[in-house]
């Protein structure tokens, strides 16, 4: 792929834009010619049955898939107008730009404070003063509505928190790195309804400041917590519209069938 050819297509209002993105795991093709334009500052949800390529797409956007040597990718992915596969782009810069939250909360087995500072430390070399660090920790925890709960136990191990709090912490620790895009891979699947509600509330709170792409199995959640919705099936994008429109007047039959629960 060449960055020059398609440079005319750059649109600054787009957070993520892909052209002809194909991906193979060995001989199995997981993504077929994905063309997507995800707008800045919106919450976009991705729905579709298991194995349709939602998570693969997410993992491609922050280049975490490439760790496996049998993964082959072609096509073009721009994040904030920059081709992430460009030869002048460092993978680390991509991951700084694109934070990711996983299905199961995965805080590191260290203190809450250190979890928040982890990303910051590895990018700055840890030369920040204590006061500045405290400020970073507080602001990140404030943003995810966790500050009041954990401010007295910042030195406790992160794994002692409840799952909901852990997931919020996982979101919070992305923030000091100052990403523009947050990818969330079924962030609520391990949480109870209350926790889910809290995280969804948080998503609305973060809306506008970050572009959020959330993969979910839960159609009700997609409907509640997103502004645009993408429906994927067997590695292909079937439909990408405003969320309300998708659930009221889907254009494709497959979408209708999926939304109505005929399969998936």
Partner 1 sequence: MNSPHRAGPAKIAVRSENFHRWRSRKDKLASKVIALGGFVVIAAVLLILFYLLYVVAPLFMPAKISSTDVAGSAEWLEGSTSFLSLEEQQQVALRINQNGFAEFFSLDGLQLIDSIELGGNGQRVAFVAEDHGESEIIAVVFEDGQSVLLQNHYSTDFSAGVELRKIVPKLEFPYGTGLRELMPGGGLTGLVVSDTESELVLAAAGSGGRVRLDRSTKQENFLSGEIELDRTIKELQVEFEITAITISDDHRWLYLGDESGQVHFYNTTTYQETQTVRVSNQAITSMSMLLGGISVLAGDAGGAITQLFPVRDAENKYNLKIVRRFEGHGAAINEIIPEKRRKGFMSVDADANLTIFHSTAGEMILSEKLPGLPSALALAPRASGLLILYRDGHAAFMGIDNEHPEVSFASLWSKVWYENYAEPEYVWQSSASSNDFEPKFSLTPLAFGTLKAALYAMLFALPLALLGAAYTAYFMSPALRRMVKPTIEIMAALPTVILGFLAGLWFAPFLEENLAGVFAMLLVLPAGLLLFAWFWTRASWRIKDFVKEGWEPVLLLPVILLLVYVSIEFVGPFQDLFFGGDLRTWLSQEAGISYDQRNAMVVGCAMGFAVIPTIFSIAEDAIYGVPQSLSDGSLALGATPWQTLVRVILPTASPGMFSAVMIGLGRAVGETMIVLMATGNTPIMDWNLFEGMRTLAANIAVEMPESAMNSSHYRILFLAALVLFMFTFVVNTGAELIRQRLREKYSSL
Dihedral angle at the C-alpha atoms of 55, 97, 244, 264, nearest 10 degrees?
A: 0
Which residue is it, tokens 């919450």?
43
Task: Determine, following the binding rule CB under 8 A, whether residue 174 of this chain makes contact with partner 1.
Answer: yes
8 Å CB contact between 146 and 165: yes
Q: Which stretch binds partner 1 (CB under 8 A): 28-36, 136-144, 172-180, 198-206?
A: 172-180
Q: At what angle do helices 112-124 and 130-143 cross, to 10 degrees?
A: 120
Q: Which stretch binds partner 1 (CB under 8 A): 6-14, 24-32, 102-110, 204-212?
A: 102-110
In the shown chain, the binding pattern of residues 10 to 49 toward partner 1, with x for contact by CB under 8 A and - for none, equals: ---------------------------------------x
Q: Which stretch binds partner 1 (CB under 8 A): 5-13, 29-37, 107-115, 219-227?
A: 107-115
Task: Choose, by CB under 8 A, the member of 119, 187, 235, 250 that binds partner 1.
Answer: 119
8 Å CB contact between 21 and 85: no
Cα–Cα distance measured from residue 162 to residue 195, given in angstroms and rounded to the nearest whole number:
9
Phi, psi of 44 (to 5 degrees): -110, 130
**For 229, how many CA atoms within 13 A lie in the half-sphere containing its CB?**
26
Task: Determine, following the binding rule CB under 8 A, whether residue 123 of this chain makes contact with partner 1.
Answer: yes
Cα–Cα distance measured from residue 216 to residue 229, given in angstroms and rounded to the nearest whole number:
10
Task: Choose, by CB under 8 A, the member of 1, 89, 108, 136 that binds partner 1.
Answer: 108
Cα–Cα distance measured from residue 104 to residue 89, given in angstroms and rounded to the nearest whole number:
29
**Closest CB to partner 1 among residues 41, 49:** 49
8 Å CB contact between 118 and 160: no
Q: Which of residues 180-239 bind partner 1 (CB under 8 A)?
A: 233
Task: Choose, by CB under 8 A, the member of 45, 55, 62, 226 that binds partner 1.
Answer: 62
Q: At what angle do helices 163-172 and 112-124 cross, to 10 degrees?
A: 20
Task: Determine, following the binding rule CB under 8 A, whether residue 100 of this chain makes contact with partner 1.
Answer: yes
**Closest CB to partner 1 among residues 63, 76:** 63
Which residues is 99 bridged to in the sheet? 182
Task: Choose, by CB under 8 A, the member of 10, 13, 74, 104 that binds partner 1.
Answer: 104
Q: What is the DSSP letter of 157?
A: B
Q: CB 8 → partner 1: shortest distance, Å?
A: 26
Task: Determine, following the binding rule CB under 8 A, whether residue 144 of this chain makes contact with partner 1.
Answer: no
Total H helices, total E strands in the chain: 10, 10
Q: CB 208 → partner 1: shortest distance, Å?
A: 22
Task: Determine, following the binding rule CB under 8 A, whether residue 170 of this chain makes contact with partner 1.
Answer: yes
Q: Which residues bind partner 1 (CB under 8 A)?
A: 49, 62, 64, 67, 69, 92-93, 95-96, 99-100, 102, 104, 106-110, 118-119, 122-123, 159, 170, 173-174, 177, 233, 262-264
């Amino acid at each position: 792929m060449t960055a020059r050819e398609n440079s005319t297509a750059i649109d600054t209002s787009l957070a993520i834009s892909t052209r002809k993105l194909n991906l193979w795991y060995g001989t199995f093709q997981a993504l077929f010619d994905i063309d997507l334009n995800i707008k800045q500052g919106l919450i976009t949800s991705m729905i579709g049955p298991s194995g349709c390529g939602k998570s693969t797409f997410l993992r491609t956007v922050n280049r975490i898939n490439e760790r496996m040597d049998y993964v082959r990718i072609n096509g073009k992915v721009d994040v904030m107008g920059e081709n992430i596969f460009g030869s002048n782009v460092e993978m680390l810069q991509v991951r700084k730009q694109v934070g990711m939250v996983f299905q199961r909360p995965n805080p590191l087995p260290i203190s809450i404070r250190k979890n928040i500072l982890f990303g910051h430390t590895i990018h700055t070399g840890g030369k920040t003063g204590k006061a500045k660090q405290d400020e970073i920790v507080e602001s990140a925890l404030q943003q995810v509505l966790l500050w009041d709960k954990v401010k007295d136990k910042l030195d406790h191990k992160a794994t002692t928190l409840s799952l909901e709090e852990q997931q919020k912490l996982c979101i919070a620790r992305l923030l000091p790195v100052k990403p523009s895009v947050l990818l969330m891979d079924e962030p609520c699947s391990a949480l109870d309804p209350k926790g889910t509600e809290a995280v969804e509330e948080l998503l609305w709170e973060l809306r506008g400041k970050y572009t959020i792409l959330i993969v979910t199995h839960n159609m009700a959640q997609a409907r509640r917590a997103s502004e645009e919705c993408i429906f994927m099936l067997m590695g292909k994008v079937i439909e990408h519209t405003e969320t309300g429109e998708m659930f009221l007047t889907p254009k494709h039959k497959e979408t209708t069938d999926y939304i109505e629960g005929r399969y998936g």
